[in-house]
Amino acid sequence: MSYQVLARKWRPRNFAELVGQQHVVQPMVNALDHGRLHHAFLFTGTRGVGKTTIARILAKSLNCETGVTSKPCGQCSACKEVDEGRFVDLIEVDAASRTKVDDTRDLLDNVQYAPTRGRYKVYLIDEVHMLSTHSFNALLKTLEEPPPHVKFLLATTDPQKLPVTVLSRCLQFNLKRLPLEQIAAQIQKILDAEGISHDAGSIKLLARAADGSMRDGLSLLDQAIAYGGGQVTEPEVRAMLGTIDQNFIEQLLQALKAGDVGALLKTVADATEFGLDYEALLKELLLTLHRIALAQADAALAGEEGEAVLNHAKAMSPQDVQLYYQIGVMGSRDLPFAPDPRSGLEMTLLRMVAFRPAEAGEVRVTVPAAAPLPKAAASTATTPRAAPSATTTASPVAATPASVLPVQNSGTPAAKWADVVAQLGLAGLVRELANNTTLEKYDNGVMELVLEETHGKLLNKEREADLKQALEKYYGNPIRLTLRLGRPAAETPAKEKSRVQDERQQAAVQAIADDPNVRALQEKFNARVNPASIRPKV
């Protein structure tokens, strides 16, 4: 017996077997069960998401010998013939090969005749957008007033090319790309049923490569089984797909955290020896940074690589992760314009090391309270990395006594408390807790913070412990932390941020008001400026 590819062997035979697309299945089941059937259905969506599969199940539901039903028996001659592609009253047409108006007229000449065997004559027109304008015109009259025994099922990957006159005569269902988890679950189910040896990593790689298409996923699974000689393993699937080994991504992340340019370039060189694609390497790095950012927002979103992702999420600041990701996206876009792909990737990685996020208070700051720099930063405090663009570079701080950084008893230079909080890498309510405190004292490992009393609900033992841990990591030594409610004598980071934003907003409004062109418009046309529409330049 000849081998049947998995995509055909495991093609759903009824609505219950469909993976996903519940937003399409449910209304169709209801319509079948209650006898409220439209004469024309349009199924749209990318390739391999189930358009023609759903159309065939609907054709079976309409012609099952048990009656019109959302649960066709699958055993009668009509059901079997639809499954085997030989049901005489299911007319399947590939519009891509029948674009001429004469083809459409020939097709529609038989619409008036009753079904040969079934209850309904069903026309399934795939890639209907490929029909010519004249062919659409020939189809319109029949779509508007079809005989009661005819149903039209149209499928397309490009609904934008359909005339609105056709769209208005159809019930339209937009099929979505399938989530990675649903594709992975179906691949797992098939491998188990087929008795094929496999591992979890290979399933995830295949599901990701499917890119939302179940058919593509099963085609890749067929290829992986053949490639692996009857088994599916992660190393062989990586080799087949050309997927990047996570060890290279781990090396890149470690080098980025350390700011080690040599290690970055060595990793690229090692990847070159393996013949890896530079664009794919950058894409995989971006995917990993995305997972790290999600984990920083909520640890529960770390995904399957939980431990590794969480470790990076704790070790990297959210600002750095966001900056790396943005630089990587821009580098990916510019990669085709680089002299060669390798140099484009290397320059992207070098930019990640060269730049740092600009802090919110860098444009203009005052320093009412100061905190010591961490030990690791003390020696490099005078040589920060360059800001990413001219619009975010720090302006010189006004030479007032408040802006001079004080010196602690230990002789270590100090940093503004708002800057310290911004670099702690905190998230959620712990970050809110820190942002509403001021530093009252820090001496010989003893730190006293005052929490704005209106934010007292933020304080609990768990958040205080998380803040203490972050401070110890930042300063590089143990800290005995005391946190009390009160009215801070100095400005909290949260209030400073709010003040700076207000000042920038007021300055922007004033700049618009002072603009001679704006004044001329006001005087000549009695125009008014809406202050709510003004935003300061970032």
Q: Whole-angstrom Cα distance, residue 188 to residue 207?
A: 10
Residue 451 lies in a domain: yes
pLDDT attached to residue 400: 30
Which CATH number goes with the domain that contains 165? 3.40.50.300
- Domain closes at, from 174, 205, 227: 174
CATH number at 472 reads 3.30.300.150
Q: Are residues 76 and 194 in the same domain?
A: no
Inside any domain, residue 148: yes
Of 491 and 245, which is predicted with more confidence? 491
Q: Is there a single domain that holds both residue 431 and residue 537?
A: yes
Residue predicted with more confidence, 531 or 503: 503
Q: Count Cβ atoms below 10 Å from residue 340 Cβ, excluding itself.
A: 10
11 with 150, same domain? Answer: yes
Instruction: Give the end of a domain, one of 334, 354, 374.
Output: 354
Instruction: Say what the pLDDT of residue 371 is.
Output: 58
**Assigned token pair, 460:** 């609990």
How do residues 162-189 score in pLDDT, each as one tens digit? 888 888 888 999 999 898 899 999 999 9
What own/partner pairs with CB < 8 Å and gap ≥ 24 does 297-300 have?
A: 297/427, 297/428, 298/428
| Distance, CA of 101 to CA of 99 (rounded, Å) | 7
225, 253: one domain: no
Domain hosting 61: range is 6-174
243-281: burial string, b at 16+ Cβ within 10 Å, e else: bbbeebbebbbebbeeeeeeebeebbeebeeeebebeeb
Which token pair is 438? 């001021």
188-234 pLDDT, tens per residue? 999 999 999 998 888 988 998 888 899 999 999 999 999 888 899 98
The answer to whether position 401 is within a domain reads no
- Contact status, residue 190 vs residue 10, Cβ threshold 8 Å: yes
Neighbours of 313 (CB within 10 A): 22
434: closest CA among 387, 392, 379, 474? 474
Q: Domain holding 226: CATH number?
A: 1.10.8.60
CA 179 → CA 26, 190, 224, 289, 421, distances in Å? 19, 17, 21, 20, 38
Task: Write down the pLDDT at residue 208.
Answer: 85
- Asked if residue 1 belongs to a domain, the reply is no
Q: 389, 463, 473: which is closest to 433 by C-alpha?
A: 463
pTM metric for this prediction: 0.55
Residues paired with 124 in a beta bridge? 92, 153
Residue 215 and residue 289 in one domain: no
Between residues 482 and 521, the one the model is more confident about = 482
> Is 490 inside a domain boundary?
yes
Q: Which of 121, 65, 124 is nearest to 93 (CA)?
A: 124
Q: Is the domain of 30 the same as that of 168?
A: yes
For residue 405, tell me if it sits in a domain: no
CA distances from 162 to 43, 91, 154 (A): 12, 21, 11
Per-residue pLDDT tens over the stretch 376-386: 444 444 333 44
In a domain, 62, yes or no: yes
Question: Among the three residues 241, 256, 284, which one is the final residue of a domain in this structure?
Answer: 241
Q: What is the DSSP letter of 213?
A: -
Based on the domain organization, do 161 and 208 belong to the same domain?
A: no
Separation between Cα atoms, residue 503 and residue 490, nearest integer Å = 18
User: What own/partner pairs with CB < 8 Å and gap ≥ 24 does 245-252 have?
Assistant: 245/274, 246/284, 246/288, 246/305, 248/276, 248/281, 248/284, 249/281, 249/284, 249/285, 249/288, 250/308, 252/285, 252/349
Q: Which residues of 444-468 are buried (b: 16+ CB within 10 A; e: fewer)?
A: eeebbbbbbeebeebbeeebbebbb
Cβ proximity of 40 and 142 under 8 Å: no
| 203 and 273 part of one domain | no
Q: How many domains does the chain have?
A: 4
Mean pLDDT of 28-46: 90
Looking at the fold, whether 337 and 473 belong to one and the same domain comes out as no
Q: Is 337 exposed, middle or buried (0-12, 13-18, 19+ CB in 10 A)?
A: exposed
- pLDDT reported for residue 538: 57
Co-location of 262 and 215 in the same domain: no
Asked whether the predicted pLDDT for residue 363 surpasses 50, the reply is no
Average pLDDT over residues 7-14: 89
Please, which residues have CB within 8 angstroms of residue 340's CB and are 6 or more apart in sequence? none
Kindly report which listed range (66-75, 114-123, 237-246) carries the lowest average pLDDT score. 237-246
Look at residue 404 and tell me if it is in a domain.
Answer: no
Q: Please check whether residues 195 and 274 belong to one and the same domain.
A: no
pLDDT class of 406 with cuts at 50, 70, 90: low
Handedness of CA 150, 156, 162, 164 (dihedral sign): positive
Please determine, for residue 77, whether its predicted confidence score (pLDDT) is greater than 50. Answer: yes
Query: pLDDT band at residue 253, thresholds of 50, 70 and 90?
Result: very high
Mean pLDDT across the chain, nearest whole number?
A: 82
CATH number assigned to the domain comprising residue 286: 1.20.272.10
Indicate if 124 and 250 belong to the same structural domain: no
